[in-house]
Structure formats: C-alpha cells, structure tokens
Structure 1
Amino acid sequence: MKIKIESSRIIKPFYEHTPPSTTSHIPLSVFDKVTYEAQIAIIYAYHPPTPPNIAIELGLRKALVVYREWGGRLGEDEHGNRVILLNDEGVRFVEASASSTLDQAMPFKPSPSLLSLHPSLKDVKELVQVQLTRFTCGSLVVGFTAHHTVADGHSTSNFLVAWGQACRGLKVNPLPLHDRSIFTPRNSPLFEYQHKGVEYMSKSKKEHSLNEVHHISEDVVVHKVHFTVQFLANLKAKASSMNGNNKPYSTFESLLAHLWRVITKARGLSGFESTQIRISVNGRTRLNPKVPNEYFGNLVLWAFPTTKVKELLREPLPHATKLIHDAIAKVNNNYFRSFIDFANTKAKEEDLVPTADMNKYILCPNIEVDSWLRFPFYDLDFGTGCPYMFMPSYFPTEGMMFLIPSFVGDGSIDVFVPLFEDKLPLFKKICYSLDLLED
C-alpha cells in the first residue's frame, strides 16, 4: 500500500461572525494532568460516494469554532500552570492518495502500514491532525489523531460526531461543556483511598521506571481477535454462573476476565507473580451530582484488579470476573472526590507525577485495556453515510488491548491484543475456549 502525500497544511476555525480573543486559555483539570500525555490515532474507512475534501475541511473548521481547544496549543499561564491556549493556531490537515483500491488494502489488519494513513504522532504541536487518503476505487480513509491531555475518548467521540454534523450543515448538538474548573477540593480534604502508587508516583520512581523502558520490539505482534455475539453470550453466562440471584456481570467484565486469564496463560508466567489490569472508569455518571455527558475534557480514573497468577488460572472464570467487577465498583463518587482532594493538595506538596505512561512498550505481567464499546465513533457521518469500518492505529505496546464494536454491526466485538510473537500460538489456541483453562 503506497501512500502519496498531496498536501499538508494548517487549517483554522471558520468564524461566520467576529472572531473571539486569541489570548484566553483554559486551565487543565486534575484529570487532564494525570492522564496520558500522548497523541492517540484512529482510522475510519468509507465506501464511495464520499464528499469532496473541501467539504470535509470546511466542516472541520466549523467544528473547531465550537471545540476551540482542539485548534489551540498546550502551554503555561503567567504562574507556570499548564493550560490550553485558545489561540486558534489550528490543526494539521493532510491530503493523500493511495496507489490501490481499498479492497486490495483490506482488511486492515494491525500492522505498521497503518501508520501511513495518519500523520506522525511524534513531536507534534498541533492537538488534532487529520489525513484524508483517497483510494483508486473512490473509497476514503480518514486518519485522525488527538492529544489525550485535551480530552478522553468520550469527549473525542463527541467532537467527531459534531464534525460530521457540521459537514452536513447541521448545528452542533449537543454543545460541549467547557468549564474545567468544576472539580474543586472540599474545604476539609478527605483522603479515603490510597492514591500514591495508584494514579501518582514519586519522580524518582518514575525516572527509575523510564530507565527500564524497552524500545519497541519487533517481537511484539498486534493480533486482532473477533468474538461473536453467541460466544459473548455463552461467556457472560459462564462468568455469571456463580452469581446466584445477583445481577449478571456485564459483557465487558466477562470478556475482560476471559482475556486476562488467556493472556496470562499464554505468557507462561510464574504462579507466584502478581498480575493486574488497568481499566479506565468514566467519572461522568459516578460523580454525585453527575457531570453532564457533554463535559469536554478528561474525566477518567482507573480500576486495578490484582491477583496472583496461580489464583487467576486455578480459580474458575467467575472468580476473575468478580475481581474486575469489584475493582470497578470501588471507583465511585467517594473515590473520585478523594482523588480530587489528593490531587489538589498532597500531589502538589509532594511533587508527585502521574503513573499513566505511554512510553512503556512492555506491560507484562500486567494488562491495560481501552474499551471503546460505548463511544459513538461509528456516528461520524460526513454527509454520505457512516463509516463501514473503524479501528485504532498500530500501537505495538505488549499487553495494551483495545476493545471496539465490530464493523459487522451485530453486537460482536473485535479486540486488538499485542503480544510477543512466541506467545501468540498458545493465545490463538485457547482464546475461544471456555473450558481449556480449567482442564
């Protein structure tokens, strides 16, 4: 798949009336400061007919009027605090062409070739980048990159829907809530939970871990695995089989428990090692009072179910599922409030730094999961229909999984699993077995 860059330029918000000041800024919230400081890339594919590039560009420029943060830059205020500068310096817009039909390049499997379908993620000052790649058959692939410090997946997917609305000549609805100052500590801070060693660590420990960072290994393979609706239903029933009259576990919890066990088995870890999962938990519905879904920014903390390898593999599936369910349930309103208090006081006093780190390339014996199952990514309609395919770009971080709704559209799920190549045969052998781990 040969990709030719036709043009690359900066585009800015399109104001129909008097432009606002470009000297204002939005302070980062404690949730923005503790998340991953990295660009994330996703890829869409559209069958013809598709709108011309100029129409997609104009829609993006109109959406940037409503979501000014994306057209700004990360910087500091006069006190040295990190902020988003609302300077309208714009986003990168790249036009490209492919030398083949989309069918010849499909199905898009996780591989380094995906990196040519979106702008580079390295040393980027723009907070959003877009690449439109036209194939000889008339199909369109849209590569989109966004800086995670500005917004989480929930907010980013809302922006993408708004971009489509603007392309179709509609008013952006719902409008985003931009106020990031709503997360204030209580008058008497209350630390009900441990946050040092969870969301934060000391600088010295961070520097030590960075010294041990592995470079991207050619031995890491990103494997895409498809779970059918029927398999998921069977898995959920098995995971919930010891629940009695309690509510069944969710499909997400059940599938994640299964994958945790399969990956751990495939890795061949010592039974006495500990293994944990890092699971994103959306705070919008957990905080009391609830934060509107339109809140734009980061509002995520993490659950960390942890256990010994031998226990994870020895006990049946419901055991692992309960560990995950209970860990997620713990990240409730009290936990979020405790974090807000800690982040505004102790974290500053002790000069702590976030544990979230995109520079690690090997997570073993641990796992991290990014679930995009509830985000409306498939709703990005530029005027000729929704995409028929959506996927993350190529992220060869061993142990960092992405869960997305399958483009089949029947409720099935695709999981992108990066593993060392020599561990993949066993993973493939057991990933669809509900019983093999218990033999």
Structure 2
Amino acid sequence: MAVNNTPLTFTVRRRSPELIAPAKPTPRELKPLSDIDDQEGLRFHIPEIQFYRHDPKLKNRDPASVIREALANVLVFYYPFAGRLREGPARKLMVDCSGEGVVFIEAEADVTLKEFGDALYPPFPCLEELIYDVPGSGGVLDSPLLLIQVTRLLCGGFIFGLRLNHTMSDAPGLVQFMTALGEMAQGASKPSTMPVWQRDLLFARNPPHITCTHHEYDEVEDTKGTIIPLDDMAHRSFFFGPAEMLALRKFVPSYLKKCSTFEVLTACLWRCRTIALQPDPEEEMRIICIVNARAKFNPPLPVGYYGNGFAFPVAISTAKDLSTKPLSHALELVMKAKNDVNEEYMRSVVDLMVTKGRPHFTAVRSYLVSDVTRAGFELVDFGWGKPAYGGPAKGGVGPIPSLASFYIPFTNHKGESGIVVPICLPTALMETFVNELNNMLAQENKSQVLQEHSSHVLSRL
C-alpha cells in the first residue's frame, strides 16, 4: 500500500484552445443515444490521463502536432464525437452530428516525468493544469463531447489528458477510440476496429416492462446526515499485490473459493470503509459494482460498439452486519449482485430508464467501485510506446470522489503486478480505514506482520 505525498508543483503554458473538426465531410444527422447512455448518473465529464516517456528516435516528432492531425482523421470515423448533445422529449439525449469539433489544447510544462516520482497513480499533482477546464466546455448539452490536452515535458516526454462526456462511452468504448487515435497517429488510414454505433440495441422495449429488482435506483432519503462531507478530505492509494490478495483470501470459506479477485477486494474495502465511517448500526450500506454487460447479451454487443454497456448492480447490508460478521457475509452479497446481471437484467434496466425518467443511481450510503484493470488504457500507443501510466485521472468516479474508487492495474518497483485502489475519505476517518485494512492483511501473524504492513508495506509501490 502507498500514499502519494509528493508536493510537486509546476507551471503549464497553454496555447489557446482550438476546435478540431473531422478531416473530411461527415454525415449531418441526429443520432439518439441508448437508454443506458442517457441516464442521469452518466451525465458528467470523466477525466483520463496518459504519461509517455521520451523516445530519442522521435526527437523530431512533436506529439501535439502528431495527435492533432490524427484526431482530425479519426473523427472521420468517430464523427458523433465532433457533434453536440441535444435533449428531446422525456429527457431523451441525442447527438446532433454537426461536425463542430472537439476541444484540443497544446501545452508545455516546466517539469520532467521523473519529477512525478517512480510510481505513477492518482491523485496527480496540478491535474487541473494538465486537463484544463476550458470555460464553457464542461456542460452536458450543447457542449463539446471531448477535450484533449497534450502537454510536452522538459524531458521530451509528454502527457495526454482527456475529458469525455460519459453519456457517449464507457471505459471499453473510450479505449477503443483512443486505440484508433493511436493507430492513426502511427500512419494507419483507418482504425483496425471500426466503430459501431447501433445504440438502438439498448433501446427500451415496446411497451417497456421492468422485470427485475433494481435497488441501485431506489429513492433513499438521507435522513441522518450520512452523506460524507467534502472538506478536509484525505486521498490515498493502496496497492494489492499477490501477498495482499493471499492474505485476504485466508478469510474466504471453502464454499466461496471460486470468487474473483474483484469480489474479494470489493468485499474487503466495503467492510473496512463502513467500519471507518461508523454509521448507525442499523443503517443500510450499499456497494455498487460496475459490471461490463457486453458479453451478457445473446448475441453479445457487436465488436466496435463504443456506447455504454454496463450495469450498476448493488449489494445492501446493515452497517452492523458488515462490521461484525465475517468477510464472507459481504463477499456473498457482492457475488450475488454481480451474478444477477444478465441480458434480462439489462433489458429491465433500459425499460426502467424510460419508465421512471432516467434516474440517478442511489448515492446515499453508497460506495461504487469500477474495475478498469482489463480496459486497456495502459496499452494505448501514439507512437512513443506504451504509457508509464494510463488510466483514470482521479481516484473517484463522478463529481463526488469519496463515493467511488477505480481498480487500476499497477506493477510496483519489485515487478509485482497488482491493483492500485485510490481511496478518498475524511482525514479524521482515513487512519481508522488504514488500521482496519492492515489488521485484515496482518491477521496471520499480528506481532510481526502488522508492523511490516504499518511501516514498509506503505511503500510497496
């Protein structure tokens, strides 16, 4: 586990933002989003960031110029990204494929990649300078759908920052677009995977009928003031490698041995976080698991589909049960929530959206986790090789970082592959969370291993 305490500051000089339109004429049409895409919980912009090392063989190639040109070319194929969202009757979102373009910013920073430290993971210093919020660009309707900033570094490396209107794509869809951008930056004439729109595959049935239980969209009142305050927050990132996962699996009973790494880790974090928050014992606590449902359909959603294709299944337990029962209690609930997602579940979610006005998932007493370890951000190559880091720019999902965490692939300085999980909690509660987590990881030999986890495992990254 580790904490990023680097007090790094630097100056970024930006050129004036420009709009990059498709390099060739594209169809002018109105394309409705799916009924998964336009739910309230996805109506925000999500940031992503890639760090690239200097390549001396490419010293005469400017990454900003290369990516700017490739962007215009890839938008010929992904032309909806160059449009603007409009809202129709019943809050239905659609893309006006106007070809107005995406925001592009060329910048340079007086810092080297090495100064960011050996271990790159959120939170990143001066992030607002690396993905600049151009005034007027951050709205959901009538605003650019993509913003890209390429920042050259003193060492010859560069940072690729991106901000996406989440209604357009999820992580697999965004990686597909970025991969295509990288291919065209390296001279390809078209993407190796052609984009597929077909948002009608996730339109509501006629007539819509909700056939499954969807507690993720329950209307829950925050009657006891349990929404986490946003002031004085602590951000820490925790590494879970082979040793940590082996320690956690010691809590898994034999009848649950087939559980995944995601499920064990999620159950552990849900439990430790609940103990740290100290809610009323009878309060219902929620864990929301992002589940990629592309392969749940028969046939699966087509290769090249770049819309949102996931569900928000939720597990619910009282704080008392989470805190006092064995980890298997939380683990069984997480496994069941994930396993509930099938094609009928997705059809039911779609029908719920149009029936109930596209509601937001329930945030009260909720914690959301999103696993991007297999999304492929760390493989995106613009010609300078794979990134030193590629993935979420922030630890949390959405506008309230304390409510959510990403699971990010990471290899530490020992060459151990694992998962980094950024956690955001009120400073006063973070130490309780850390202590509870350390107690679980050190359960086997508290006298020796607990000390190890308290001191040097905090630098295992």
1:187 deviates by 5.3
Q: What one-letter code is carried by the residue in structure 2 that aligns with 1:177?
A: V
Identity of aligned residues (%): 28
- Verify the 8 A CA contact 1:389 1:407 in the aligned structure 2: no
C-alpha displacement at 1:295, in angstroms? 1.2
**Matched residue count:** 414
C-alpha separation in 1, matches of 2:241 and 2:154: 32
CA RMSD of aligned residues (A): 2.8
1:115 pairs with 2:128: yes
State which of 248, 262, 265 in structure 2 corresponds to 1:255.
265
Aligned match of 1:238: 250
Q: CA deviation at 1:436?
A: 6.8
CA distance in 2, matches of 1:200, 1:37: 18
Distance 1:87 1:393, change over 3 A: same
Q: Check whether the contact 1:390–1:407 (CA below 8 A) recurs between aligned residues.
A: no
Find the counterpart in structure 2 of residue 397 from structure 1: 401
- Whether the aligned pair in 1 keeps the contact of 2:34 and 2:203 (CA below 8 Å) is no
Structure 1 unaligned regions, length at least 5: 358-362
Change (3 A) 1:145 1:181: same
Inter-partner Cα distance in structure 1 for 2:208 and 2:359 = 20
Return the alpha-carbon distance in structure 1 between the equivalents of residues 391 and 175 of structure 2: 13
- The match for 1:354 is 359
Within a 5 Å distance, the mapping from 1:198-217 to structure 2 comes to 198-199=216-217, 217=230
Bigger mean CA offset, 391-400 vs 5-14: 391-400
Q: Which shifted more, 48-57 or 159-168?
A: 48-57
TM-score (normalised: structure 2): 0.82
- 1:181 offset after TM fit, Å? 1.1
Check if 1:421 corresponds to 2:427. yes
Cα shift readout 1:95-138 (whole Å, capped 9, x = no counterpart) = 11112222223355515622211121774211111111111111
Q: 303-312 or 284-293, which moves further after superposition? A: 284-293
SS in 1 for 2:401: coil
- Contact persistence 1:239–1:249 (CA under 8 A): no
Amino acid aligned to 1:426: T
Instruction: Note the alpha carbon deviations across 1:187-246, whole angstroms, 9 max, x for none.
Output: 565432234x63375xxx8xx88xx998973311221111112322442x3354331xx6
Alignment of 1:123-272 (within 5 A): 123-124=136-137, 125-170=143-188, 171-186=190-205, 189-195=208-214, 198-199=216-217, 217-235=230-248, 237-243=249-255, 248-272=258-282
In structure 1, the residue corresponding to 2:13 is in which secondary structure? strand
Matched residues in 2 for 1:2 and 1:260: separation? 38
Amino acid at match of 1:231: E
Q: 2 CA distance for matches of 1:185 and 1:217?
A: 37
Give 1:65's match in structure 2, choosing from 62, 70, 76: 76
Measure, in 1, the Cα distance between the counterparts of 2:90 and 2:286: 38
Distance 2:113 2:15 in 1: 18
C-alpha distance in structure 2 between counterparts of 1:270 and 1:78, whole Å: 42
Instruction: Letter of the 1:413 partner, please give it.
Output: I
Distance 1:216 1:119, change over 3 A: farther
Aligned to 1:360: none
1:275-354 correspondence to structure 2 within 5 Å? 275-344=285-354, 346-347=355-356, 352-354=357-359
1:381 matched to 2:381? The reply is: yes
Residues 247, 442 of structure 2: 8 Å contact kept: no
